[in-house]
Chains A and B, each alone.
Chain A
Amino acid sequence: MDEYNEGLALTRPIHIDYPQAVPATYYIDPKACLYLTHGTCQICVPACRSNAIDFSQTAEERQLSVGAVIMAPGFGRIPDETLAKFSYGKHPDVVTSIEFERLLNPSGPSVGEVRCISDRRHPKRIAFIQCVGSRDLGCNNGYCSSVCCMYAIKEAMVAKEHDPDLDITIYYMDMRTQGKDFDAAQKRAVEQYGIKFVRARVADVMPWGNSLKLTYSTLAGRHGFEPFDMVVLSVGLDAPASAKELSEICGFDLNTYDFCKTSTFAPLTTSKEGVLVAGAFQGPKDIPESVTQSSATAGLAAGLLQKQRGDGYIVKDYPQEKKLGKNEEPRIGVFVCRCGINIAGVVDVPAVDASLQDMEGVIYHSESLYSCSQDAQEMIKQKIKEHNLNRIVIAACSPRTHEPLFQETLKDAGLNRCLFEMVNIRDQCSWVHANEPEEATRKSKDLVRMGVAKARLIQPLAEQTVPVTPKALVIGGGIAGMTVALNLAEQGFHTSIVEKNAELGGNLKRLKYTVTASDPAVLLQQCLEQVKNHKLIDVCTSSEIAAINGFVGNFSSVIKTTKGKKVTEQTIDHGVVVIATGGKEHRPAKVLGSEIVYSNRVVTQQELEERLAGKAKSLDFVVMLQCAGSRGDDLAYCSKICCTQAVKNALKIKEINKKSQVIVLYRDMRTYGFNEDAYRQAREQGVIFIPYSMEKKPIITSKTNKVTISFFDPILQEEVIITPDLLALSVGVVPEGTEEMSKLLKIPINENKFYLEAHVKLRPVELSVSGVYVCGLAHSPKPLDEVIVQAQAAAAKAAMPLVKGLVSVEPIVSHVNKDLCIGCGLCESLCPYQAIRIQKVDKTRIAETIVASCKACGICASHCPTFAINMGGFTNDQIIAQIEAFGKS
């Protein structure tokens, strides 16, 4: 059974799960191995040429002494019993979303072709059922799994790409696409892909002829049924199976759903000192949030163990590098790898080796069985010595996987690691031409000749490093900025906070209570005191950044402070910048087309919160309007926090007077994760939630002393007019100061004016300019706990260059020949990374590479009109030599 493919395919008992697996080592599935289950067979033992199978191995226990633990066990599966009510397990064409994911995947069991499991026909109609195993107290999962809406949309879109005629319907309660740019993707799913979204609860799924019958009921009480060829269950994330065991072993607490218990203000700290948690075990979440939490825990652990930094850290040393004379003749050694039978089974390796005889510059050549093996490294080192070789070519697998290994060997032998060229005759030759041995051999010879041609021209390249000023600048002194500064200071780095207001605190000062009943004032007080008392933190209030110059490791900023009429300027040198400029409440003048007069009767949720926290007078009748000015109304996006904020305030109103009437008009209630509990609680306490659609928008008539709302009630199926005491608008969040900062630092912002991170999934707190990091509301709207986590993650990332003390640069970066450069500036204008600039040297303009920022793409080199720019390891001469060698075939 192939578990990687969710049991939808068969595999051998000894296998690797997928080609890119790390480690890419075959393993024996103990459930399928005849020896391990029945004590027979062992046929694999003599079959393995490397004698790598040893059945005498047993499990061993190891004791590790560690200073901190990070728990990242992920999530578990929703039990099959929960899925059974939708005929899962009874009908093969009812599949889980993860099974469907594998069916869509080109590396999956059906090679990416979607077919019904029952009879392998192409399905024409597919239904997705949302919230399976989530928001369902029936299976004790009261929470929202936070990821299913997104993956369902993604899978539906990918399925449509495979077959544009597919008819896909998604049955949902609320579409919770609250993340950054997520709503836009849902819009695309509807408008470009024609995917249908139906707000309805699915009662059951039953076999019906050779297809399936899905019965549903809508909010208006209408029942219906539809036939489908396939039904995909959008299964939620359960607590990991190992949760209880881990909590007992480590001694930390779990929450009611068996996820790890943490608090709003310390979201990654477990109840056990020194044990941190990251990823889905902390609560259901998607990839970028998991990655962010991981970075954050790394930073927190680094803060805890600041004194032990480097303990047990292994740094290797190398012999003195041999100098290579400028005109020293190339003495090339070539090793042609057989890779067992991986290469030699197709390519005639002896013939390739023989083709090297008398090739210009080749002093030594030989075959090797496994050139990556330890003994082969020793052999290479020995041959380098013996024949005084000064360049090495290895014809084997891919430099992407093995170049670092061979470069190590060169360094061990006292050669510069750049005096190396790799020729790929496995991944890109023997493996892809398995049935054409002659052609594969010819191709190998050509590739080796091209590699040698390049090798003749390769030169040693100096390892370049740039020293780092071990200080950080944090722009913005709200909770995000303060959290960054505190963590960096804990890690031992001097940090300056620049805040434009007269005092620190930002939006946190206006936050009065949270849905988890924690007191924000306590957090604020704690932070302010810690920041004030920490020796490594400087604070500049009433200050702004006038200019930032430099690059990663070496920034220099001018800070302008305005105190009354007195304006002072100071310059700070720092190695990294963290941007935490925050956001603020949006105040739309028009909501859903109606003019708004803000007054005592028409307020924002934040104003309501302040009023409820003050001398609370009970309110008889409150209406809350969600997405006021958001999600395409005024702002294009969802602000993520307003639904929970509304629920929080509604609960507070009920707490003050449980007879108060509260109506919430919404489009999708997005109380994702454990906030779903508060939403359920609000409904239980009698808060009325009524959905509205953009086709029938509520109409607001606001005057200073009276407010009227008329809306269509989908349950009563009629227009309703109400006159509440108070209308609270859930208005959303806009970023602050991002446009100015974007100009100062040349960092991109998205169309909603939030900063655009370097990679949405994998580098969520880094920006495209090296050494600049982002967190908080300026990145995207998010609740307090997520702001804190993101700030901790930004601190961890920002600490990395500071810890190293050096920015090391791959020697493949560009360099400018100053004699040839005419200072035209074309390179500067084209560089996507701001890594080359024009400098004035004695009145002449000359380009200069900022090696710390260069990513070695070579755009500057290819466009330079005077060929003044070259790339390390990929020079014009080298590439031309390769092309010429290609021509000699």
Chain B
Amino acid sequence: MSKDMFQPKILGFLCNWCCYAAADAAGVSRYQYPPNLRTIRVMCTGRLDPAFILKGFAEGADGIFTGG
């Protein structure tokens, strides 16, 4: 990865039943993707309080990903 390029910090909220499972499956299939994402598992994206998103930005996230 080029060190000069902007490297965003991305926070992800993944639904246990679909997106988190898909992220596992991506690993099992050895798909490669950039290592900028840090994830938090939730049981459903319905769990997400908008405050979590704002908090994420306040803590320095450049982008927030929700997968559900």
Contacts and interface: CB of A to CB of B under 8 A. Distances in A.
Q: State the main secondary structure of chain A at its contact with B.
A: helix
A884 B11 CA distance: 11
A859 B59 contact: no
Interface string B20-51: 11011111111111010111111110111100
B5 interface: no
A5 to B, nearest CB: 14
A857 B28 contact: no
A118 interface: no
A19 B20 contact: no
Given A874-B47, A886-B59, A431 B30 contact: yes
B24 A884 contact: no
A409 interface: no
Contacts of B27: 398, 426-429, 431-432
Among A401, A426, A440, A886, which residue has the most Cβ atoms of chain B within 10 A?
A886
Determine which residue in B25, B38, B60, B61 has the highest number of CB atoms from chain A within 10 A of its CB, and name it.
B38
A63 interface: no
Nearest to A888: B59
Interface residues of B, number: 37
A871 interface: yes
Interface stretch (A235-243, A323-331, A875-883): A875-883
A400 B21 contact: yes
A113 to B, nearest CB: 16
A880 B52 CA distance: 7
Contacts of A427: 23-24, 26-28
A859 B46 contact: yes
Given A433-B32, A857-B46, A446 B16 contact: no
A756 B21 CA distance: 26
A495 interface: no
Contacts of A428: 23-24, 26-27, 39
Contact of B52 (A424, A431, A871, A879): A879
A889 B16 CA distance: 24
A619 to B, nearest CB: 58
Contact of A447 (B30, B38, B42): B38
Given A20-B28, A439-B1, A887-B60, A879 B40 contact: yes
A812 interface: yes
A443 B38 contact: yes
Given A874-B42, A880-B52, A883-B40, A400 B16 contact: yes
B41 A399 contact: yes
Contacts of A399: 41
A629 interface: no
A874 B43 contact: yes
A40 interface: no
Contacts, number: 117
Given A435-B32, A880-B52, A887-B60, A446 B46 contact: no
B40 A450 contact: yes
Contacts of A886: 11, 38, 40, 56, 59, 61
Given A20-B28, A447-B38, A856-B43, A436 B1 contact: yes
Contacts of A442: 35
Q: Bin chain A's interface residue count.
A: 35 or more
A398 B59 CA distance: 26
A42 interface: no
Nearest to B58: A887
A829 interface: no
A485 interface: no
A880 B28 contact: no
A857 B52 contact: no
B28 A19 contact: yes
A641 to B, nearest CB: 36
Contacts of A861: 47, 49
Contacts of A107: 29
A883 B59 contact: yes
Contacts of B30: 431-432, 434
Interface string A393-430: 00000111100000000000000000000001011110
Interface string A499-542: 00000000000000000000000000000000000000000000
Contacts of A882: 40
Interface in A431-470: 431-436, 439-440, 442-443, 446-447, 450
Q: Which of A19, A429, A855, A861 has the most CB of B within 10 A?
A: A19
Nearest to A872: B43
Nearest to B44: A857
Which residue of B21, B32, B46 has the most chain A CB atoms within 10 A of its CB atom?
B46
A883 B26 contact: no
A440 B29 CA distance: 17
A359 B54 CA distance: 26
B42 to A, nearest CB: 6
A399 B21 CA distance: 10
B42 A858 contact: yes
B23 to A, nearest CB: 5
Contacts of B11: 883, 886
A685 interface: no
A765 B34 CA distance: 43
A812 B16 CA distance: 12
A883 B24 contact: no
A879 B37 CA distance: 16
A866 interface: no
A66 B38 CA distance: 50
A450 B12 CA distance: 13
B49 A862 contact: yes
Contact of A812 (B1, B31, B43, B55): B43
A862 B46 CA distance: 7
Nearest to B53: A883
A889 B9 contact: yes
A401 B25 CA distance: 11
Contacts of A426: 27
B61 to A, nearest CB: 7
Contacts of B44: 855-859
Contacts of A876: 49
Nearest to B46: A859
Interface in A61-96: none
A859 B43 CA distance: 10
A530 to B, nearest CB: 42
Contacts of B43: 812, 856-858, 871, 874
* 5 tightest Cβ-Cβ pairs between the two chains A and B: A887-B59, A858-B47, A427-B27, A857-B44, A859-B46
Given A398-B20, A427-B23, A886-B11, 13 more contacts: A400-B16, A424-B41, A428-B23, A432-B27, A434-B32, A442-B35, A450-B40, A858-B48, A874-B42, A879-B47, A880-B52, A882-B40, A887-B59
20 contacts: A20-B25, A107-B29, A399-B41, A401-B24, A424-B39, A428-B23, A429-B27, A431-B30, A432-B27, A433-B33, A434-B32, A436-B35, A442-B35, A443-B35, A857-B46, A883-B40, A883-B56, A886-B11, A886-B61, A889-B38
